[in-house]
Amino acid sequence: MTYVRKYGRPDLFITITCNPKWPEILRYLIPGQTSSDRHDITARVFRQKQKSLMDFIGKQSVFGEVRCWMYSIEWQKRGLPHSHTLIWLVDKVHPDQIDNIISAEIPDSEIDPELFDIVTTHMMHGPCGQHNPESPCMAGNKCTKRYPRPLHAETISGNDGYPLYRRRSQEDNGKNITMKVKGNNVVVDNSWIVPYSPLLSKTFKTHCNIELCNSIKSIKYVCKYVNKGSDMAVFGIDAPDANDEVTRYQLGRYVSCNEAIWRIFSFPIHERHPTVVNLAVHLENGQRVYFTEANAAQRAERAPNTTLTSFFNICQSDQFARTLLYSEVPQYYTWNIASKMFQRRKQGQAVPAFVNVFSTDALGRIYTVHPLAELNATTVELWNKYKDYMADDILHRVRTTTLNYQLEMDDGIHNEALLLIEDLCLLMSGSSLDKLGMAAPNRAMHDALNRELEREREYDIDALNQEVRTKIPLLTNQQKDVYDTLLKAVDEGNEGIYFIDAPGGTGKTFLISLLLDSVRSRSEVAVAVASSGIAATLLGGGRTAHSAFKLPLNLQLTDEPTCNISKNSVMAKVLQNFKIIIWDECTMANKRALEALDRTMRDLRSNARHFGGALIVLAGDFRQTLPVIPRSTAADAINACLKLAHLWRFVKKLKLTTNMRVLMQNDSSADVFSNQLFCH
């Protein structure tokens, strides 16, 4: 997830499986032997194939320049290894490039007979289902791998974050073949093909599945899948006379011969690039110390440095280190395990204006410290010792706002700092400071209801104006039209619901950030939310919709949900005073989330119009939820879309047809929606 935080979603997810018929394996077998007799050979060969795959993708850049990668090795129950690999590219794969990288169709046997043989041998799923009900992938009379897949004339985005690849039917010039399944001839078409890369398949001649991660919705699943490790099981031992649960039950996992050989050879099971350095977080004298009977007194007198204490030390002596955040240190310094100190890197890219300072692509990861972690008396001591430093920026802000530069630090400024800390703790754990071992702030000294409103206004106006002036010339003509339309609506105080509809890579986030900067540069309130945490981090001041609007968790179980926001709450004042709400990745949200916000806004603003007469901008890729419709007349496009039950329910429920607009479309493809699709 450190890679995701730094570089966003991965681009490619590749699974490659060992082929026991590789020539490199067969040539070393003694006559009469099979690959299952020589796991040492299959392990060595697959290790070399995995290294070749990473060199092929990383060093030769066959899919473009690679920013970072990671892979893990797993084993099938029959013993053959396979790897799961994630690739982050410098240049993201655009929708119109997918078919150049990934195919899910049977190749033409006359044009490319070699690829045809590889695909029909290694990339054909099943067939299962009615053709083979006893297939291992079957559960509950359904294929757990969701085959056969639907046929599509073109590649489109799916609801689960993965594309629906082009799988042409026979009427669309798609190919099919006849296979023997359980002694019967079965005609198999493109719906049974596992997505593959023609380049990788012809290079490695084995089962090599490749998927495009085109949505942040798939990130956590893929990252967990790569790092989940071996399957484990708890089994019981039949011992009637034993009452000891430890002896009656054992926790274990299956280790195949090939995995055992792999571990004996000390081959890596997981590798990644660039390196990620874990950075310690602890209170003073709260670091973990390992000692023996011989060195216990020495360690008690002087504990070894940690990455945190070493960072404090270099900040005292190194001018460049003072310019860095703690998480940025591994990019310029290496951690010497022996001396327990950070040392400047001696290789890498030279940093301008600093002598003998080099940077690399190493990343730092700070361990998470939950507010409910073990606490003691030192936590108040910590506040008393550093409260002036924690409140220094608050004092500067008050001086600037009031033009009273003679104002000194006092209890009121300290109380403001405590309020900020408690707000964060309430957001993270729902606990106030008095429950976490610190002094509680005096909220009577501060209007708590204005805190959230101030949060939405605490921006550097000069910096925002500079950002706006810099970014506006970078807008495309289409983005400029959207920007001008929405900014005019803000200026005139208009209400309405606008959609910014475009696939990934077309500049939605850039446009949204510019809109937020423009509104906030005028000291107005612009609320930025997203349907996922990762998307929210890409927006200035962004939060998840569930966090900001206090949406109920059981949306599907409630017929008419509402947000958990009272009229006297902090967020209520924000929702009564904002100029615009921008909801990114709204296509990933349940429609009842929008309905809940609609009901709540009407109540908070005492306005019966939709969303209380507010200006709402919904952004996302609506192609993830709607099929591609060939361009025709506007009436045909509308009639076709109205046949979609989920869209019709959404439109009918909120009755928003007179306010909907499509403000941004990527018209580079011939098969896109008509611009009149949502217009009244």
Instruction: Tell me 165's DSSP state.
Output: -
Read off φ and ψ for residue 16, nearest 5 degrees: -120, 135
Which residues lie below 8 Å from residue 628, measured CB to CB, with a gap of 6+?
A: 154, 156, 671, 672
DSSP β-bridge partners for residue 237: none
- Name the residue with higher pLDDT: 46 or 3: 46
- Indicate the pLDDT class of residue 445, thresholds 50, 70 and 90: low
Q: Which of 197-201, 397-401, 663-667 has the lowest mean pLDDT?
A: 663-667
pLDDT at 451: 56
- Name the residue with higher pLDDT: 523 or 418: 418
Nearest Cα to 82, choosing from 265, 334, 256, 299? 256
Q: Is the predicted pLDDT of residue 248 greater than 80, yes or no?
A: no
- HEC states along 281-313? CCCCCCCCCCCCCCCHHHHHHCCCCCHHHHHHH
pLDDT at 415: 86
CATH 1.10.1060.10 assigned to 461-654: no
Q: Which of 53-62, 428-437, 474-483 has the lowest mean pLDDT?
A: 428-437
Nearest Cα to 482, choosing from 508, 463, 458, 503? 508
CA distances from 486 to 220, 406, 580, 609 (A): 33, 42, 9, 19
Q: Which residue has the tokens 């217009």?
A: 679
Contact (CB, 8 A) for 63 and 198: no
pLDDT at 225: 67
Nearest Cα to 310, choosing from 291, 324, 290, 294? 324
Which sign does the torsion angle of CA 324, 325, 328, 333 carry? positive
Contact (CB, 8 A) for 653 and 660: no
pLDDT at 168: 94
Average pLDDT over residues 651-673: 38
- Name the residue with higher pLDDT: 662 or 212: 212
- Indicate the pLDDT class of residue 298, thresholds 50, 70 and 90: confident
pLDDT at 303: 83
Interval 190-205: pLDDT, tens: 999 999 999 999 999 9
pLDDT at 502: 80
Q: Is the predicted pLDDT of residue 119 greater than 80, yes or no?
A: yes
Q: CA-CA distance, 246 to 86, in Å (whole number)?
A: 39
Reading the block at residue 25, the tokens are 């394996």
Residue 414's CB is within 10 A of a number of other CB atoms, namely 21
Average pLDDT over residues 213-232: 66
- HEC states along 329-388? HHHCEEEECCCCEEEECCCCEECCCCCCCEECCCEEEECCCCCCCCCCCHHHHHHHHHHH
Q: Which of 140-149, 160-169, 400-409, 610-619 has the lowest mean pLDDT?
A: 400-409
Which residues lie below 8 Å from residue 537, measured CB to CB, with a gap of 6+?
A: 5
- Name the residue with higher pLDDT: 663 or 166: 166
pLDDT at 508: 86
- Name the residue with higher pLDDT: 504 or 472: 472
pLDDT at 216: 62
Average pLDDT over residues 410-436: 80
Q: Side-chain half-sphere of 130: how many Cα atoms within 13 Å?
A: 5
Q: Is the predicted pLDDT of residue 533 greater than 90, yes or no?
A: no
- What single letter denotes the amino acid at residue 324? L
Average pLDDT over residues 79-93: 90
Q: Is the predicted pLDDT of residue 500 greater than 90, yes or no?
A: no
pLDDT at 531: 87
Average pLDDT over residues 558-573: 78
Read off φ and ψ for residue 605, nearest 5 degrees: -95, 0
pLDDT at 333: 95
- Name the residue with higher pLDDT: 167 or 495: 167
Q: Give me the chain's average pLDDT, please.
A: 81
Interval 259-282: pLDDT, tens: 899 999 999 988 999 999 999 998
- Indicate the pLDDT class of residue 301, thresholds 50, 70 and 90: confident
Interval 601-635: pLDDT, tens: 888 888 888 888 889 999 887 654 444 444 444 44
Q: Is the predicted pLDDT of residue 222 greater than 70, yes or no?
A: no
- Name the residue with higher pLDDT: 180 or 334: 334
pLDDT at 329: 94
Residue 676's CB is within 10 A of a number of other CB atoms, namely 13
The CA angle 442-446-448, to the nearest 5 degrees, is 100
Q: CA-CA distance, 156 to 365, in Å (whole number)?
A: 36
Find the distance separating the first CA and the last CA of the chain, reported in whole Å.
43
- What single letter denotes the amino acid at residue 458? E
Average pLDDT over residues 641-648: 41
Reading the block at residue 108, the tokens are 């033409």
pLDDT at 234: 67
- Name the residue with higher pLDDT: 398 or 512: 512
Q: CA-CA distance, 148 to 126, in Å (whole number)?
A: 9
Which residues lie below 8 Å from residue 601, measured CB to CB, with a gap of 6+?
A: 575, 607, 611, 612, 614
Sequence length of the chain is 680
Instruction: Tell me 103's DSSP state.
Output: B
Q: CA-CA distance, 301 to 327, in Å (whole number)?
A: 29
pLDDT at 325: 93
Reading the block at residue 318, the tokens are 């190194």
The highest-confidence range among 217-226, 243-252, 317-326, 404-413, by mean pLDDT, is: 317-326
CA distances from 573 to 456, 569, 570 (A): 11, 7, 6
Locate the domains of the chain by residue range.
Answer: 1-102+196-273, 124-192, 276-366, 378-446, 461-654
Instruction: Tell me 19's DSSP state.
Output: -
Q: Which of 55-64, 309-318, 345-354, 427-436 has the lowest mean pLDDT?
A: 427-436
Q: CA-CA distance, 64 to 100, in Å (whole number)?
A: 12
Average pLDDT over residues 531-552: 85
pLDDT at 625: 46
Q: Is the predicted pLDDT of residue 370 greater than 70, yes or no?
A: no
Which sign does the torsion angle of CA 26, 29, 32, 37 carry? negative
pLDDT at 287: 84
pLDDT at 219: 63
Q: CA-CA distance, 387 to 52, in Å (whole number)?
A: 55
Contact (CB, 8 A) for 332 and 347: no
Average pLDDT over residues 133-145: 89
- Name the residue with higher pLDDT: 643 or 477: 477
Average pLDDT over residues 242-253: 66
Q: Is the predicted pLDDT of residue 586 greater than 90, yes or no?
A: no
